[in-house]
Amino acid sequence: MAKVLLGMSGGVDSSVAAALLREEGHDVIGMTIKTYNYEDIGGNLKHDTSCCSLDGINDARRVASRLKIAHYVTDMTEEFGREIIDYFTDTYLTGETPNPCVKCNREIKWAAMLRKADQLGCEFIATGHYARLRNENGRIIVSKSADSTKDQTYALWSVREEHLHRTLFPLQNYTKAEARMVAEKHGLSVAKKQESYEICFVQDNDYRRFLKDRLAGDAEGGIPHALSGGEFVLNGEVVGQHDGVPFYTVGQRKGLGLSIPSHPAPLYVTGLDVVNNQVHLGDDEELFGTELTAHSVNLIKYTTLPERGLRITAKIRYKDEGAPATVLPLEGDRIRVTFDAPRRAITPGQSVALYEGDDLVGGGIIV
């Protein structure tokens, strides 16, 4: 049996992972990461259910006590602020829509946890992710979870393959319902705890409020240019005023605050122009495209992609079912994905995850 450092958020999944590792006889150390200063992020919530909250820390501590395992809280607020929160705000300011969980998995939940594991003499790290791992010809392959409704492989494409060699997913063969049954069997206080879907450092799920609060004092003489409002543009003509480019995303329909009687069809955000501080609008059909380019590509299943291309299924957002496509390697860390049929709202800044069957090939950030 091995010494394992387990990331504990205080939720059902990581708590059950702890119980399963203990059942298997591993020497388990629980670690909860403090990722932000609660007084700095705003939101004014009386009860924070996010994965890295004070409530989560307390729940994780109670579970660790119940299972009789060591538990530590590690302060990574500085690193998390630099790697994740700054990335989140900077990406919105460039007119793109970030995916902070993908970056957090790579830089915090794996890279930082492995450094801590080395300090504690742990051979492996573990998390409560719903995904499967297998060793194939010396390479670790990530594949979809046994529970299709909880599969989390989309957010794992950026994890370095060498880090996966030291990773355990105790829940890889469990469904969420089965995990809750395990929690109840072990008398864990979190057995019926609700899921948390919001971004951990945006407690109230209002990212506009968060950006305003965080960026209002960053620019000399006032708020950043991108937050100062600008023009809605339709077919080359100005049709109204928007609140700030970062407050919109490609494909958005609701919350535009705009009515154009001469254009009765629903309007959608089709593009963001940070340089000219404009939000471009159009009809639904203008959102469809057959091709994307991605950067910061990370491959898991293969070391390289064939020059002739690889047939894959590509997901362009977490809830996306995926669609048939061909991926071609480009110069550097870039790829081009060409879909067999048009896809709606391919959004810059979001991730594209590539699959062969259930296996996660890798992914990148959409340009």
Report the C-alpha gap between 85 and 326 in whole angstroms: 33
200 is catalytic: yes
Q: Find, among 126, 132, 130, the residue nearest to 113 by Cα.
A: 126
- The one-character DSSP state at 193 is P
Active site residue: 51, 52, 101, 104, which one?
104
- Domains in the chain: ranges and CATH: 3-185 (3.40.50.620), 229-282 (2.30.30), 288-366 (2.40.30.10)
The set of residues, in sequence order, having a beta carbon less than 8 Å from that of 136 and lying 6+ positions away, is none
231, 237 contact by CB (below 8 A) = no
Q: What is the pLDDT of residues 273-313, one digit of tens each?
A: 999 999 999 999 999 999 999 999 999 999 999 999 999 99
Catalogue the E-assigned strands of the chain: 3-7, 27-34, 70-75, 124-126, 132-136, 139-143, 167-168, 230-234, 237-242, 268-273, 278-282, 288-299, 310-315, 323-329, 335-344, 351-356, 359-366
The set of residues, in sequence order, having a beta carbon less than 8 Å from that of 304 and lying 6+ positions away, is 329
What pLDDT, on a 0 to 100 scale, did the predictor assign at position 39? 64
Q: Find, among 91, 90, 120, 125, the residue nearest to 105 by Cα.
A: 125
Place of tokens 């909250």: 53
Report the C-alpha gap between 334 and 47 in whole angstroms: 42
What pLDDT, on a 0 to 100 scale, did the predictor assign at position 250? 97
> Which residues in the chain come in under a pLDDT of 50?
46-47, 221
Active site residue: 51, 52, 101, 200, which one?
200
What pLDDT, on a 0 to 100 scale, did the predictor assign at position 49? 52
Question: b/e for 299-331, b at 16 or more Cβ within 10 A?
Answer: bbbeeebeeebbebbbbbbeebeebebbbbbee
Give whole-number Cα distances, 149 to 37, 152, 321, in Å: 32, 9, 11
Q: What is the pLDDT of residues 102-114, one digit of tens each?
A: 999 999 999 999 9
| pTM exceeds 0.95, yes or no | no
The amino acid sitting at 132 is R
Q: What is the pLDDT of residues 205-236, one digit of tens each?
A: 899 999 988 877 555 545 566 777 899 999 99
33, 39 contact by CB (below 8 A) = no
